[in-house]
Amino acid sequence: MAGWNDRWRTGNNVFDLDHKQLSTLLDLLEDSLGMLPDSTFPDMLAHRLVREAREHFRREENYLRLHPTPQTAGHVAMHEAFADKLDRLVARIEANDGAGARDLIVEAQRMFVDELLPADSEMMATLAARIAVAH
């Protein structure tokens, strides 16, 4: 993935900063596997990515519980599928399987851009429409 793209903004600045950080951590992890595969960087970055992703999902799910949409259950399930993928990624890195880790990074990046970010944009658009109707 070639870095953050401002078209991915959802309209919620907290979530957007979280997303930018997650996208950057995925990129840094990918770079570290290419540039310093035998160092402690990949493991350190992978654990940081897992921690930040969990924090982000917790923040978003608190918000979704306060403002449920018809897509909330599917949205939370998607977060869980992504978190599972990151756990498998950490396991590959801990097993020193750089090629396996890189495959999972590509899958995680694709899922982030094609599924997670559109779901978040849809969530924010649904809530914005609800607010517009209420006024």
Calculate the CA dihedral of residues 97, 20, 74, 12 and round it to 10 degrees: 170
Interface residue list for Fe ion (CB under 5 A)? 60, 120
Nearer to Fe ion, 17 or 129 (CB): 17
Structural tokens at position 46:
């992978």
| Nearer residue to Fe ion within complex by CB, 33 or 124 | 124
Q: In whole angstroms, how close is the CB of 1 to Fe ion at the nearest point?
A: 16
Q: How far is the CB of 60 from Fe ion (least distance, A)?
A: 5
CB within 8 A of 46, min separation 6: which ones? 29, 86, 89, 90, 93, 101
Q: Least distance in Å: CB of 96 to Fe ion? A: 30
Rank residues 33 and 116 by Cβ distance to Fe ion and give the closer one: 116
Alpha carbon distance 41, 29 (integer Å): 8
